[in-house]
Amino acid sequence: MNPHVLILGAPGAGKGTQSDRIVEEFGVEHVTTGDALRGNKQMDISHLGLEYDTPGEYMDQGELVPDAVVNEIVEKALSDADGYVLDGYPRNLDQAEHLSDITDLDAVVYLDVDEDVLVDRLTGRRVCEECGATYHVDFNPPEEEGVCDVCGGDLYQREDDTEETARERIRVYEENTAPVVEFYDDEGSLVRIDGEQTPDEVWEDVKAAIESQA
């Protein structure tokens, strides 16, 4: 069983945690837009007739990579994968429609979490300056406050984990991705899962959703 799974949810909903479990359980690849872009920076996109001939040139200039480029990269990543969980794409309706043209999804899982809970999760994250290990002040605290268990480095709060930034990230996500959720809901393929449960409880629901549809 090599299911094609799409996981949707706002920042802080737990997509990364559940994606890791899907990979482990079903032996599929975790395809994220960021990883796919980084892995294909030198891909030849000259045939698209855009400003640059490789995705890397957009990234080096700090510019937003156009949908047409992201679509091509995701298509390549999915065609190379023997089963996958797709995370971070589609981000808008055009991308969702393109995805329907290039692959068949077995399960579309949406982790539903209230905004205040998302903010608590995002603002509680702490990252090690030395090794990048991630903690959470409530859900996954280090043994010693402010100190990494792995390497002893100092833990800090990333700029994009402040409350103001967290709420803005969620607002942008909702604005862009609400139509995507609606698209799959109208299609009848969306499975809403209560993302406020414990990670283990969420996983049981995610696994059941995939097994019932794949």
Q: Cα separation of 54 and 195, whole Å?
A: 37
Of 41, 91, 167, 207, the active-site residue reads 91
The predicted-structure confidence for 163-188, as pLDDT tens digits, reads as follows: 999 999 999 999 989 999 999 999 99
Distance of CA 119 to the CA centre of its chain: 17
Of 167, 169, 192, 207, the active-site residue reads 169
Give ∠ CA 104-18-115 in degrees, rounded to 5.
100
The predicted-structure confidence for 118-160, as pLDDT tens digits, reads as follows: 999 999 999 999 999 999 998 889 999 999 999 999 999 988 8
> pTM of this prediction?
0.86
Q: How far is CA 104 from CA 4, 50, 51, 158, in A?
A: 7, 28, 31, 37
Q: Please say if 15 is a catalytic residue.
A: yes
The candidate with the shortest Cα–Cα distance to 187, out of 104, 74, 121, 80, is 104
